[in-house]
Amino acid sequence: MPPAVGRLATVRLATATAACAALIGATAGPAQADPLALEATAALYSFQVGDRTESLVVESGRPGDHNEFRQSEHASGRTTAHPGWDIRLSDDATAPAWDYAIGIAGSNHDGDGVSGSSSWGTLSLVDEDPSGLPFAVIQAEGGVTCDSKTGEIWSGNPNPTRFQVRRGGQLVDVTPNSGPLTLDDVTPGDRTGGSPARTTVSIVTVSDVDQLTGHQPFAKYADRARTAARGHALVIRQQPDPAQPPTTYRLLTNTTAASC
């Protein structure tokens, strides 16, 4: 796995699984109390279920920080947060025939302002379906900038978001933000060897830090005075056992936040 580059680079995999955390860094520390803190965080992904979060992020919190992390063909493996699924980044074996792009997350702090950005890489969610195809693929991009001198905040998605789901043994295009989709052939995310369970998948556009609640790397932005956020979240609800309540998974992809 290639390292991040730049001064005081911070790359973190914050997860409930110590073995995964050891791959690239330490668990994120406590939230900062400074309401005017200049800081930016960019996540290639952040997976949240219950009180568990697993994230791959870069951060810039000091003047002069310029951090970047490039990752192609990253596979999370099946972790305690999602023992039945694998999260893959920019994996040409499981992504559609879109323009191939390496996943990049970057953050910058120039003393007066901060910015966070993420590239147009793909994220694939792979279950145990014998076809080997992911049940959902998203390609997105986002960025935010916060200027402490002027108070100006910018955010945007330069390229259109692409989304596909598996239906009938093939990947089909879906219009993002078109509402929840019901899939009948997705194996459970909370176990291995389970039978397919009815699953709903929807995309939510992230435009405010309040939408990042529950994702530990972004929790520190909740009480800050001036913030910006941009990105996308996959919201997945699944009920493998009819006698038990459904489980909700939230997966941020190419999501950034900044405060100034």
pLDDT in tens, 30-77: 444 565 588 888 888 999 999 899 988 888 877 777 777 776 667 888
132 vs 152 pLDDT, higher one: 132
Query: Among all chains, which residue has been given the structure tokens 């949240």?
Result: 48
Residue 162 forms part of a structural domain: yes
User: Would you say residue 4 lies in a domain?
Assistant: no
Distance CA 127, CA 78 (A): 9
* 239 in a structural domain: yes
| Position 3 in a domain | no
Is 229 among the domain residues? yes
pLDDT at 31: 42
Enclosing domain of residue 213: 11-259
Is 212 inside a domain boundary?
Answer: yes
> Alpha-carbon distance 67 to 71, whole Å?
13
* Three-point CA angle 219, 223, 229, nearest 5°: 60
Is 220 in contact with 38 (CB distance < 8 Å)? Answer: no
Alpha carbon 117 to chain centroid, angstroms: 12
Considering the domain boundaries, does residue 72 fall inside one?
A: yes
Question: Is the residue at 158 inside a domain?
Answer: yes
| Sheet with 170-173, side-by-side order of all strands | 74-75, 86-89, 122-126, 136-139, 162-167, 170-173
How far apart (Å, rounded) are the C-alpha atoms in residues 154 and 99? 26
Write down the residue that tokens 């936040």 correspond to: 257
The number of folded domains in the chain is: 1
Closest CA to 124 of 187, 157, 166: 166
Q: Do the strands 113-118 and 142-147 form a parallel or antiparallel pair, or are they unpaired? A: antiparallel
CA distance 255 to 67: 15
Position with higher pLDDT, 247 vs 146 = 247
pLDDT tens for residues 78-113? Answer: 999 999 999 988 777 776 666 655 666 777 787 777
- Whole-number Å distance between alpha carbons of 162 and 229: 20
pLDDT of residue 225: 84
